[in-house]
Structure 1
Amino acid sequence: MRERLVILGSYGVRVESGEVAIYGATLKASKVVSWVHAPQSHALPVIRCASDAALELRPHPGAQEIEDLGLLSPLFRKLWCESASLSPNEKESKSSDTFRILYTSDDGPKRAVLQDLKTPPEWNREMATLVAPKDPVHSSIMITGPKSSGKSTFGKILTNRLLTSIHAQAKRSSDGGVVILDLDPGQPEYCGPGQIALILVTKPVLSPSFCRPVDCPGIRTIRSHALASLSPASDPELYTEMALDLITHYRNAFRSYPLVINTPGWIQGTGLDLLVSLISDLRPTDVIYMSQTGPADAVEALEGACNASRFSTLPSQPSQNSLRSAAHLRSMQTMAYFHAKSATGHNGEDHLRWYQTPLTAMAPWQVHFKGANCSIFGVLCYDFQTQPDLVADAINGAVLVAVEVESTKAFRDIENDQLLLSSAGDEAAPGFPMELDVGESDSVQSSSLSLLKQKIATLTAEGIPFIDSSHGLTLDPRHSRSLGLVLVRGIDVKNGDLHLLCPITTSQVEDVRTRGGQIVLVSGKLDPPTWAYTEDLYFQSRDQGVDGNEDVDIDGQAESIEADSEDMRGDDAPTSSGNTESVPWIEVLTTNQKRGAGSKVWRVRRDLGRAGNN
């Protein structure tokens, strides 16, 4: 007989005897504690254990910090075991209890829509087949399907089963794991929005993506690329090149590990052609389509592309929880990314920690962009061309991607290459004027990049080096890689500094310099960080008698965070009584004040390749 346990909140699980199953992972008796975040915004994982199993539940040491992010944004409220929903006796023990066991549906917070994680029988049978031993080559599974069909959930459960299955553990060493190829830039599971990445997972994944926005124990980024857009539609060719570079790195160094490939939910028109091309290029052993209701043309096209791959369809499992929309979850992941910090917890265990103060209270990186001590190669725009006199306004307050340029080969689309090379040296071979010798030293690479910069970068009125991309210039993924997202907090024109906020470490930057590389800041079509502009106001509102746990009206069907800002205003929203005149990009309305017609953000839709647009 197996018992089941549903828990809301943040907690640790240590199995004392027997074994338990959670989120597809089988945990055996050990001294290791597995940490879980189970917010209301996602289906709650179910702990299943045999009647003779014994386990210990521990409070999560970082629970209060991530809960306190609700002081900075309504997006992080009404997710956990907030004290407003507890009884007086429960409030006294809230400081030590970070979770609540839900024995019945009445044990949850009032008016909360809770859903436990259930897997259809077809999912379980398919996963049992996928984790079975396969000799001599490990499997590579590509998960496809429409939006909100359960691709990420299936992939996470499958990853955990592969990590902890008896057959997989028998074939791999103790430091083995599962490699994830996350190809969904709009809803990535293991990297920031607008990026795709190759990830090595060595511990079960037991939390939503916004609870682990940066590398943490058990999750390590092998290599990532910046599309700087939420959809492959912005540049399908570049997207394919990035995917091919990541799969090359997997085959060169990690092919002994199982591979799980997560794909976007764009399955019609150009998106379908892109998936068919990826199947042909990546050559997975198994292709899974997460829907049994079509569309028929998509199923036929994908199945036809699987010449050497096993193709199967599974029933979709859309989430019934509408507490947060996809755009909200993306904003939460980005906000958590900029507030994340790594620290050593109690008893030598590592935990992801969080800065609980607004970003304006954090010391930024001061990146010099003028003169001989310039710290960046330049600013490059993907998908659109900004006029040089508007660059400063375009990037100020925006999220960019810091990309390491490893050599001059990254600039493969520059015109007049022969003319550029004439001043860069004779290192390149005929026909490849910008390529460098294989044995070229780091210092020569750095010098060549500096000479190239003088040719292709122009200075704006503020002195910011700007790379003209009017001819569709993009960085070659084979010779560049993403370091992470950065938020431009301000531009100090007088001293020539960009003030950047990011969790990129000093050692990462030093490694770039040691290898002779340069850093390019790539601007694209990422969501504007509206959450960052209001953090101070929400943080100050706690001193005005506003309870951070009061109801917040969030429209889960909204298409953009900007359009939701008016709906999210309630008793907990900042009022005009505070000092808002010095806060840029923010308009605070009085209680009865409303915006005029046409004042909301207009969102242009590009239905590229979709049926019915002829």
Structure 2
Amino acid sequence: MSTKRKKSKRKSRLSESRTRYFQQADPADGVVQQDDVIVVDAPLEDAETDDSDDEDMRSLGGIQDDVSGGEDSVETPPRPKRAWSPSQPIQEISDDEENDESLASVPPQPPQPKWHTLNCSFIPKYGENIINLATSDVAQLKAKHADNETGTILAMSKGETVALVGTYRLTVLQGSIFLNGAELSESLIEHHIFAPRCSPIPVLTALAKPVAGPSTTPSWRTKFSAPIGSLFDTADVVLLLQELHTGVEGLGKVCRTFDGVFSASSDEDQLLRLDTAQMISTPASNLQPFHLPASWNDALLSHDQTCENSDRELLASQPFIAIIKGPRRTGKSTFARTLLNRLTRTYRRVAFLECDLGQTEFTPPGMVALHLIEQPIFGPPFCHPRSPLRAHFIGATSPRTSPSHYTNAIQSLLQTYRLEAQYSESLESSDRSGESEDLRIDGLVPLVVNTMGWVKGLGADLNRQIEDMVEPTHIFAMRPDAASDREFDFSRPFPPPGPEPQLGFGMNGNTSPVTFDLEPIASGPLSAKFTAADWRTISLMSYFHSRLPSKKHSPYQPSTTWNSTLPLLARSPFVVTPNVAFDSVVLVGPWADDVVPSEIGRVLNGAVVALVQCESGSMDGSNGRPKDGWPCIPYDQGSAPPDPQTSSCIGLALIRAVSPSLVSPDDSTTSGNAHVLHIVTPVPTSMLATARCMVKGEVELPIWGMLDWREFENGKAKDKERAENVPFLQWSRGEGVGADRRRVRRNLMRKAQM
């Protein structure tokens, strides 16, 4: 009897200890009650916090299992319903924060700001406020115009708003308008507007009519006939809209995720003589307009008042360096573009330093770059790729694997800005036809720094290092979390930075930067459909299909056209002999040191590489060539990436094919002149000769770049079936338990930790 009592007590203690850590699953639904794993791609903020786990453990600590089934057994209370299920769709999470254990317990997030519905107040009336121009009328306006070029005149009153979807050219003939945070005044300068449905639609807002006077009336106005000439007397703002043919809409064929984003709804009436854009004449709940939050507007107005109340010579002698920081998906890139547009009204050139590797603005992902901007930017990042003034290839969408290389590259770009761009007046200017006199400040180039959204752990340390290196005069911080909402009430008017407008660091006795707390921007129903990976894909595809300017020294000009008539696999490549064209091939990444020279051909096959120009003698070895590398490819295992102080990345390239002899030297099916690479790149030919180093990182070509989209457009069922049934490619998401990645929770308490 004593033995049975001992066994019963031992069994009871064992049962109690088990229920202390895990609760037995309901036999009817045993899978749903698992709490030891969560979905990897779901935001960790949505996972159960440590507090809830502790409460469950405390509630289960004194409960015994119903072993004997007697009347003294205690029933287990029902657990609350799980916040997730294995059958629910998976959401993405940034790789930067995937291994950050500090995200295990995060306070609940505040409600997201409400997005606005696109509702324009401009009422189109053909013949009254909308008039189509003939070719002769356009010729009177512009000295440079294409044959048979037409346009449409829009006459607006103060306060009216109008929006278009698509691509178009905009010229302000009279008055001024407000567009994406920038005020565009009367000028014959053309502005290229890109308005896809996947991003906030630019809204044109008419401002007040300028004061009339004989000296302010251009001579070309008198050449118009009576119907058009009378519009300048009655309307506050007169706009000229023209078609913009760039080929950017063809990117929807290349990347089907963005198919049709430049086309409006079919039920909209076509009131304009534009094939590339369509006016939104009715309220559209499925489109999100560009809305400037109150805190954003107040922060920008504070700087405008500073510029207006300050002496021009003082502005031209003191630096303006702004840094934008905050978590991901809060609108940092959108505010950076808005700030750029606002600064281009005061300064002739504005420098932009891109520190976000995953969501770049002007370059493909994986690069940090310094750009010079002269004109306002209207459109999402994939609509304005350009060659940088100077750039460095990190090779990944996160600096997690190479933080020192990341900070050294940014330090090198800041040095380039301070030595070559900040106070330089000899920079080559782009074509400014149509503007007789540019009164903007030319001697000083302000700087806008956009940081990454990784704000915890190592990411926070890197952002602090960047802020120390930049030494900003203005800090614009996004505060979406609950703690910041308690510190700053967005319902109240934005407080001014001081009793009088201050210019910032180092001016008027100021030794600390001016800081602005900004509210996050809301995301619409269409823009929320696209993940960060989708934006990286379309950015990379836009870069490889773009036609960059051919001038070697043209850092201000973005790509104006895209060639989407052929997929990448059908392009005519450059045939390159690697041991002749390159002095060094470098691999960067956590796996780079494990690639032996005999496998370098397989690694480069189908790879996205960076073309880097290095100073003579800066690479290790004789002329950068390895001593014991692969005989046909100058590769040295474990070599360090190029030093940012002595190198610069001029662009990316795709190695579309590698000769079999470079993969297997014993292959006897190739001829003697077959040690070549087939390379596709949008980098101008005049710059390719300077790139003697090739760097391969973690950035890979998306699946869309490997497909022949022409088969999708073919009406034949056989070709369409072959295009959809690509081997080893699944179009839809995985189904069933175990189809998606999962990870083990790391905040569960073990027995030794109790």
Q: What TM-score do you get using the length of structure 1 for normalisation?
A: 0.73
Q: Is 2:330 the partner of 1:153?
A: no
Distance apart, 1:26 and its partner CA: 1.6
Match of 1:358 in 2: 567
Measured against aligned partners, the alpha-carbon deviations of 1:403-443 in whole angstroms (never above 9, x if no partner) come to: 112233355xxxxxxxx6xxxxxxxxxxxxxxxxxxxxxxx
Task: Name the structure with the higher strand share.
Answer: 1
Match of 2:37 in 1: none
Rounded to whole Å, the distance in 2 between the matches of 1:46 and 1:579 is 39
SS at match of 2:328: coil
Match of 2:175 in 1: 18
1:259 to 419, 442, 447: 447
Distance apart, 1:274 and its partner CA: 1.0
Q: 1:188 to 1:531 in 2, by over 3 A?
A: same
1:288 to 457, 473, 476: 476
The 5-angstrom pairing of residues 453-472 of structure 1 reads: 453-455=625-627, 458-459=629-630, 463-469=632-638
Q: Is 2:367 the partner of 1:186?
A: no
Q: 1:77 to 1:292 in 2, by over 3 A?
A: closer
Q: Is 2:680 the partner of 1:501?
A: yes
Distance apart, 1:530 and its partner CA: 1.2
Q: Give the residue type in structure 2 aligned to 1:60.
A: L
Match of 2:318 in 1: 137
Match of 1:403 in 2: 612
Distance apart, 1:206 and its partner CA: 0.8
Query: Is the CA contact (8 Å cut-off) linking 2:604 and 2:658 kept in structure 1?
Result: no
Rounded to whole Å, the distance in 1 between the matches of 2:511 and 2:268 is 63
SS at match of 2:529: coil
Query: Which 4+ residue blocks in structure 1 deviate beyond 6 angstroms?
Result: 593-600, 603-607
2:259 to 77, 81, 102: 77
Match of 2:266 in 1: 86
Q: 1:296 to 1:57 in 2, by over 3 A?
A: closer
Distance apart, 1:201 and its partner CA: 0.2
Q: Give the residue type in structure 2 aligned to 1:260.
A: V
Query: Is the CA contact (8 Å cut-off) linking 2:612 and 2:647 kept in structure 1?
Result: yes
Match of 2:394 in 1: 227
SS at match of 1:482: strand
Q: 1:364 to 1:231 in 2, by over 3 A?
A: same
Q: Give the residue type in structure 2 aligned to 1:498.
A: L
Q: 1:606 to 1:458 in 2, by over 3 A?
A: farther
1:57 to 241, 249, 257: 241
Rounded to whole Å, the distance in 2 between the matches of 1:578 and 1:313 is 50
Rounded to whole Å, the distance in 2 between the matches of 1:395 and 1:597 is 36
Distance apart, 1:312 and its partner CA: 2.5
Distance apart, 1:384 and its partner CA: 2.3
Larger displacement relative to structure 2 (494-503 or 39-48): 494-503
Rounded to whole Å, the distance in 2 between the matches of 1:265 and 1:453 is 38
The 5-angstrom pairing of residues 403-442 of structure 1 reads: 403-411=612-620
Match of 1:521 in 2: 694
Distance apart, 1:68 and its partner CA: 2.5
Query: Is the CA contact (8 Å cut-off) linking 1:292 and 1:313 kept in structure 2?
Result: no
Q: Give the residue type in structure 1 aligned to 2:573.
A: P
Match of 1:163 in 2: 344
Rounded to whole Å, the distance in 2 between the matches of 1:182 and 1:578 is 37
Residues paired across the two proteins, number? 492
Rounded to whole Å, the distance in 2 between the matches of 1:404 and 1:21 is 42
Match of 1:102 in 2: 280
Measured against aligned partners, the alpha-carbon deviations of 1:429-458 in whole angstroms (never above 9, x if no partner) come to: xxxxxxxxxxxxxxxxxxx52xx4143x61
Q: Provide structure 2 residue ranges, at least 5 long, that are not aligned to the other structure.
A: 1-157, 208-234, 423-443, 489-504, 551-557, 662-669
Rounded to whole Å, the distance in 2 between the matches of 1:606 and 1:477 is 39
1:319 to 505, 519, 523: 523
Q: Give the residue type in structure 2 aligned to 1:187.
A: Q
Q: 1:128 to 1:475 in 2, by over 3 A?
A: same
Q: What TM-score do you get using the length of structure 2 for normalisation?
A: 0.60
Rounded to whole Å, the distance in 2 between the matches of 1:328 and 1:102 is 26
Distance apart, 1:328 and its partner CA: 0.5
Rounded to whole Å, the distance in 2 between the matches of 1:589 and 1:377 is 37
Query: Is the CA contact (8 Å cut-off) linking 1:24 and 1:157 kept in structure 2?
Result: yes
Q: Is 2:384 the partner of 1:202?
A: no
Measured against aligned partners, the alpha-carbon deviations of 1:536-577 in whole angstroms (never above 9, x if no partner) come to: 1x311211268xxxxxxxxxxxxxxxxxxxxxxxxxx97544
| RMSD over aligned Cα atoms | 3.5
Measured against aligned partners, the alpha-carbon deviations of 1:62-119 in whole angstroms (never above 9, x if no partner) come to: 2xx222232333123030216xx525985xx99942111112224xxxxx83100101
Rounded to whole Å, the distance in 1 between the matches of 2:587 and 2:236 is 60
Distance apart, 1:55 and its partner CA: 0.5
Q: Is 2:728 the partner of 1:587?
A: yes
Match of 2:703 in 1: 530
Rounded to whole Å, the distance in 1 between the matches of 2:452 and 2:356 is 5
SS at match of 1:8: strand
The 5-angstrom pairing of residues 210-249 of structure 1 reads: 210-215=382-387, 221-249=388-416
Distance apart, 1:529 and its partner CA: 2.1
Distance apart, 1:145 and its partner CA: 0.2
Rounded to whole Å, the distance in 2 between the matches of 1:545 and 1:55 is 45
Rounded to whole Å, the distance in 2 between the matches of 1:71 and 1:200 is 31
SS at match of 1:467: coil
The 5-angstrom pairing of residues 382-401 of structure 1 reads: 382-385=589-592, 386-401=595-610
Distance apart, 1:157 and its partner CA: 0.7
Rounded to whole Å, the distance in 1 between the matches of 2:587 and 2:568 is 25
Distance apart, 1:290 and its partner CA: 0.9
Measured against aligned partners, the alpha-carbon deviations of 1:21-56 in whole angstroms (never above 9, x if no partner) come to: 211222122222111110011010111113601101
SS at match of 1:152: helix
Q: Whose radius of gyration is greater, 1 or 2?
A: 2
Q: 1:454 to 1:590 in 2, by over 3 A?
A: closer
Q: 1:590 to 1:197 in 2, by over 3 A?
A: closer
Q: Give the residue type in structure 1 aligned to 2:357.
A: P
Rounded to whole Å, the distance in 2 between the matches of 1:248 and 1:273 is 21
SS at match of 2:329: coil
Q: Give the residue type in structure 2 aligned to 1:355.
A: S
Distance apart, 1:160 and its partner CA: 0.5
Match of 2:711 in 1: 540
Rounded to whole Å, the distance in 2 between the matches of 1:35 and 1:396 is 38
Match of 2:536 in 1: 330
1:486 to 653, 669, 680: 653
Q: 1:533 to 1:378 in 2, by over 3 A?
A: same
Match of 2:198 in 1: 41
Query: Is the CA contact (8 Å cut-off) linking 1:384 and 1:524 kept in structure 2?
Result: no
SS at match of 1:587: coil
Measured against aligned partners, the alpha-carbon deviations of 1:229-250 in whole angstroms (never above 9, x if no partner) come to: 1011121111111111101111
Q: Is 2:512 the partner of 1:308?
A: yes
Rounded to whole Å, the distance in 2 between the matches of 1:157 and 1:317 is 12
